[in-house]
A and B are shown apart, each in its own frame.
Chain A
Amino acid sequence: MTSVTSLAELDLKTVEEFLFHEARLLDEKKWQKWDGLFTTDGTYWMPASVDQPDPLNYVSLIYEDKLLRAVRIERFDNENAHSLQPIPRSVHLVSNVMIDAYDAVSGTCTVNSRFVVFEYRRDEQRIYGGAYIHDLIFDGTDFKIKQKRVNLVNCESALDNINVYL
C-alpha cells in the first residue's frame, strides 16, 4: 500500500477515475455498488440554494444518509413507485476535476468537479448541470465518499421532478 502524505502526491488521474466510476455505476443502475462507495456515515446532499451552509437548518433538494439512500434505491425496483415507472435512465458527464485540499492526517481530500446529467423518462429528456464537491477518504488504495455535495446550477429555481441521483 502506498502512503500519500501530501496533495502533490495524490494522483489526479486516480481521483478522476474514481469519479468516473461512481458516475458510471449510477448510469448502469448498479445502486448497491454505488451506495457501497460511501462511508458508513457518508451522506449525499443536494442543497436548495448554492451557498447553503448546512443540511440540518436549511431545506435541501436531497439530504440522505445510508438509511434514506436504501429507501430511494429500493424504490427504483418497486412497481408501486409510480413516478419511477417507467424507470428513468441517466447519463452522467464529469469533468474539470480538481483536488482542492488533502489532509494527510484524516486522509480526507476535497475534490471539486463539474457535471452534466441527462435524465430520460417517458418521452422527456431533462438536462442538469452543476458542480460536485466530493469529500473523499483515501486510505492509500481506495476512496470512500464521506459526502457528495451536488450544487445544481439552478437549484433555487422552481424544479420539476428530479428522478435520478445526479
Chain B
Amino acid sequence: MSQANTIDIEPLLHKDEVHRKVYTDPDIFDLEMERLWHRTWIYVGHESQVKNPGDYFATTIGRQPVILVRHKDDKIHVLYNRCAHKGAQLVGDTSGCVKAFRCCYHGWRFDTDGALLTIPLEGGYDNTGFCRDNPDTNVKKVPRYDSYRGFVFASLSAKGPDLKTWLGGVASSIDNMVDRAPDGELEVTGGVLRYTHDSNWKFFVENLNDLMHAIVTHQSSSQTARIVAKRVMDEKDEVPWAVEIFSPFTNRYSFFEEMGLHAFEYGHSYSGGKVSIHSAYSDIPGYVEALESAYGKEKTLDIFSENRHNTVFYPSATIKGPIQTMRVVKPLAVDKTVIESWTFRLKGAPEAMTQRSILYCTLINSSANLVGPDDYESYHRLQYGLQSEANDWVSMHRHMDQEIVNADGTIEAEGTNDIVFRNQFKAWKQYMSAEDA
C-alpha cells in the first residue's frame, strides 16, 4: 500500500477552508493522480489535431502517456503510449502521421487502433501464451474516450458518468464557442505555448474564476497599457487589439461582481455570462455577416448574448469561448505544472478573427508575456507562503452561503463569491475519498 492510500481526506477540508497540505504535500499529489486525474474525464485533444487516418497526437492523462489517433475507418482512439511487448513508448514525439506504429526497440507493429499487426520471428512465441490470440499483445486502449463537438476527453476508469452527463452545464460553453464558427466547426491552429509553473496545479485552476485578483495582480500591465495608449494615440486612432485585450483586466470591482459565476457538479464552473472581459472587443469586418448568413439574425444574436470568461472543465482544461483559446493543465509534481495554450480557428470566419485569438494567446499566455507572469508570481508565493505554520487553513469564506442553488443543482453567484473554490473542493473530496474507481 502506498503512503498515499493511508491519507485521511476528511480532516483536510472544512466547508469554508482547506488545509494547506492539499497544495504542498507530495503524498496528496500522488493520491490526486490516482483518484482524480486517473478516474475523471480528462481533456486529451481536439479532433482537428488528427484530421487524417494515421494522424496522431501524443499527450498525457495525469501520469499516463497516451496517444490520440485517427484510425483508417475515421474513428478516433485514445491508446496508452506503451508497446504491448516490452513497454517502450510507441511514439516519442508529440505528433505525426503513420501507416502503423512500429516500436523502436523490437519492431512490433500495431495498427492505429492498437491491434497487433506483426512480430519479427513471430514463431518464437508459439505455445508461450503470449501469441496474437492473447489480447495483451495489442496496444491497450484507455478504458473510456468520447468527444463532444470535436473536444476529445478520456477517462482511465471504466466507471463513472458518461462524458455528456459529466460535462453537464459547461457543455453549453463548448456549444457557444463552436457556434461562433459560421461553418459550425473549430480547428486547432497557430501552434502551442507551453508554460512551466513551479506551483501546484490547483492554484492555476482556482485562479481562472477568481475575479478578485485581476485588478490587483494585473494592474501593472492593464493600467500601463491604458496609460501608454492614451499617450501615444490620437483620439481618432482605432484602439489596437492589444489595448482592447489588456484594458478590461482592471475594470472596476463592480464589473467583476456583475460578471457573475456559475458552478456545476464535478467541480465545473464558468464566470461571465452576459458580459465578461471579452465583451468590448471591436467588430471584425465580415464576421457578423458570415454568422448571420449561416444561422440567421436571431440565432446570431443568441450566440453573442453569451459572453463567458473562463469555463473550467475540472480539473484539466479551460476555454475562453469569445476569444477561442484553451488552456490545458498538466500536473507534473506537487509543485510543478505545465500549462499548454491552444488557439482555435472559427471555420468560415474572417482570418482576422484567428489573428486576434493568436495575439490574445501571445499577449496573455506565453512564458514571456505581460500578464501571466504576475499570476504565476502569486502562485509561486502561495506555494512558498503555505510552507508557513502561521495558519494551517486557507480561506474560501468570501460570500459564504450567498450563492443561489437552483432546483437542478446548478449554482449561481455574484462574480467575487468563493463558491467556485468550495465547489471544486466538494468534487475533489468526492473523488479523493472514493477508494474504488
Contact = CB atoms under 8 A, between A and B. Distances in A.
A86 B153 CA distance: 41
A62 interface: yes
Interface in A121-166: 156-163
A66 B231 CA distance: 12
Nearest to A56: B355
B377 A83 contact: yes
Nearest to B240: A67
B343 interface: yes
B366 A161 contact: no
A46 B359 CA distance: 13
A59 B190 contact: yes
Contacts of A63: 359, 362
A49 interface: yes
Contacts of A163: 368, 373
A61 B367 contact: yes
Given A46-B368, A57-B355, A71-B224, A161 B191 contact: no
A81 B374 contact: yes
Interface stretch (B13-21, B69-77, B194-202): B194-202
A67 B368 contact: no
A160 B196 contact: yes
A59 B366 CA distance: 8
Interface stretch (B144-152, B160-168, B215-223, B258-266): B215-223
A28 interface: no
B127 to A, nearest CB: 47
Q: Which of the listed residues A56, A59, A80 has the most CB atoms from chain B within 10 Å of its own CB?
A: A59
A52 B190 CA distance: 9
Interface in B269-287: none
A157 B194 contact: yes
Contacts of B219: 80
A112 interface: no
Interface string B363-395: 101111110011011100000000000000000
Given A56-B358, A57-B358, A63-B362, A71 B367 contact: no
A158 B193 CA distance: 8
User: Which range contains the number of B residues in contact with the other chain?
Assistant: 35 or more
B370 A72 contact: yes
B88 interface: no
Contacts of B434: none
Given A74-B228, A78-B220, A82-B377, A159 B358 contact: no
B98 interface: no
A83 B373 contact: yes
Interface residues of A, number: 35
A166 B366 CA distance: 15
Contact of B190 (A58, A71, A78, A82): A58
A81 B366 contact: no
A71 B222 CA distance: 9
Contacts of B362: 55, 59-63
B343 A59 contact: yes
A40 B341 CA distance: 31
Contact of A161 (B192, B194, B242, B373): B373
A115 to B, nearest CB: 15
B238 to A, nearest CB: 12
Contact of A66 (B195, B232, B365): B232
A149 to B, nearest CB: 14
B154 to A, nearest CB: 22
B246 interface: yes
A81 B227 CA distance: 15
A93 interface: no
A71 B370 contact: yes
A158 B343 CA distance: 17
A71 B249 CA distance: 15
B189 interface: yes
Q: Which of the listed residues B224, B359, B376 has the most CB atoms from chain A within 10 Å of its own CB?
A: B224
A101 interface: no
A82 to B, nearest CB: 4
A132 to B, nearest CB: 15
24 contacts: A48-B192, A48-B193, A56-B359, A58-B358, A59-B190, A59-B192, A59-B341, A59-B362, A59-B366, A62-B369, A67-B232, A80-B220, A82-B217, A82-B378, A84-B373, A158-B194, A158-B338, A159-B194, A159-B195, A160-B367, A161-B373, A161-B376, A162-B368, A163-B373
Question: What are the 3 tightest A-B residue pairs by CB atom distance, in nearest-first order?
Answer: A83-B373, A81-B220, A158-B194
Interface of A: 46, 48-49, 52, 55-63, 66-68, 70-72, 74-75, 78, 80-84, 156-163
Interface of B: 189-198, 217, 219-221, 224-225, 227-229, 231-232, 240, 242-243, 246, 338, 341, 343, 351, 354-355, 358-359, 361-363, 365-370, 373-374, 376-378
Given A59-B362, A74-B224, 8 more contacts: A48-B193, A61-B366, A71-B221, A158-B195, A159-B195, A159-B367, A159-B368, A163-B373
